[in-house]
Structure 1
């Protein structure tokens, strides 16, 4: 087991990792920018190192500064959390060259799954169902029209190096291809420095279903069920739940077994999430995230498995401690992402928290790094916490979520809590009848909340 882990992240995920380390008896190093000097994970870590100014590129994305922090503190492993350098193959390689463990998959697997085209080809080779589309990059609008004619409209042009909804454009017919292609290329180049595009069939009303997997890098892997992440705004997840209200037991087992076998065949190490669009009983692979997900707590709540603990244990050379038959799914869990944003416009709202009162009680978990008197900096993602609730079934879970949202108080800044209070009272949400377009249509209704 590792003796000291450097946590190369900030906010709630840094605190989540720190807590897991402490429960394993592992010393912790918090790194922080000048803007995060008073962050909770910095206060609670055994050691802390300032790695640069407030800009992410000069601090949390600054590999030389992170390597210096490892050397200064003697850390023998790094946990990247999510975002920042968590899926940076070069960072994993540099750590390996310095004999410091990267708590995540191999740099090779990060690189393969980080390229959307290669990831799709790999998934297809491993027996994972994929969305019909181009075999590789689409090099011209003319080629895009040819492929679209084969797979049928509407189609989606996507950045090969993309993420977060950037570099994605829909063409409903041939007349829209030219504009969609040129716009997506410019956006991809500006966002990722790579204007390579690929094309997929655009599904009309799909759900976003993702399967959590765990492998030991030695040819063994299991799945830990699925999460439904269909409530999204601009391709950003807002609320997640497990299990999905759209799947039955047979579909759940089928796609879970496919993913677990694929990861075992790949000798994948650590946690990962295989994401799908699901429509009319069929799954279509869209990407794989080779890291811990923001929404991992809902899986922990229904399985009782600590995913961060497992990440650390496997990265230190441990085997899978259980088989697929050992994993049971109990009840239902929902996570709400609490952002420092206006509840309907999503305009960021940094500032000082003047009063903070999180909810509690049976089956309630709040993952957050904020506290009363803490000032939310304007330089980073607006996520300030996650409310996760668990119930014996979905109805009980929804009732508990409603109660918790009424208890949750964050004064001094705007948050998205009012939006969630409205959503839990919506009949479509109560019935589990929503797709990836539902929330955007709902938000288009000019209602004050």
Structure 2
């Protein structure tokens, strides 16, 4: 198979990859020879009829120590559309070669054991990363951070399983050293491993990095919510009007603050009731958004703020009420004073949001789990948890079965079992040349 593995032309350089048993033969036809492995050489590329295609750098990587685990050839072409199209047409005309499907290079790397499923997911996230936090998290996943942790857990499980099997199958053999209370020792080992898995499950999920933290701006009508989201987005995203109830629905925009992906939402003004049925729908949606928010920016009286674990109470529109004693007293109850119109307090709000956001993200160097991985880890933890003193806690056969099931759940994280349907969805996220 072959594909363009770099950005779409026109560009300075275009990299075309060929992977599989016919890669060497294809490169030899185009370049006239097969270069020394892993050394870039300059070659005049020609099609099977001898017509000139391009002068390019070519590289030859014999398998299995390659990105895909197969023979691999690369051609670094001039990045014009016509050049890339001509080389692709020449490859397609060769027997046994075809254009790659989306994600097929990475899928072959997985199937040939070059990477595991967790690393492939990290690579997919790395290709889609738009912020610094997304890049760091995806790079850690692609580099095998989670995979190494799973490997360690699997080794410990194997040790516990071996002890159980030795007791069950060779307990009457004199040359097998066994412990007097094997079930108790297994239970303690399972308990310790379950506690470690629980620690990983307590970490923030990878979704908050990939999808962005939800930051909801809420408050009563005409509190300055739309002006604030426009100031944060630095564009006219929402309509600003002195007429109460102008915002009828949740308006969302994606922003990155200090490299952290966030989704800011402007909501309808919250009030007890309205004669406008459409506005009431917007109010209901605003309430739902507030409940689901990771961070709440409340623009309104502090006493009316919804209960929320991570709320920033803002005395907004300061340019309008400066000098009003009652307004000044109310502002003192808030976390900061702000005027989106003049810019007063915007820098401080930026810092407060970022500081609060960092408490919701994994710490530096700490890997976060995707939802699929969390589900598998939670299942493994469940199989390792046995009620002390129960009949099951003293039954080696049941404990051995629990260990086997826990191992199967961990296997799904790295892709060693039952993943065929998921592979189609995962690798379809990749570009053709990846």
TM-score, scaled relative to structure 2: 0.22
More strand by share: 1
More helix by share: 2
- Structure possessing the higher relative contact order (Cα contacts under 8 Å, 6 or more residues apart): 2
TM-score, scaled relative to structure 1: 0.21
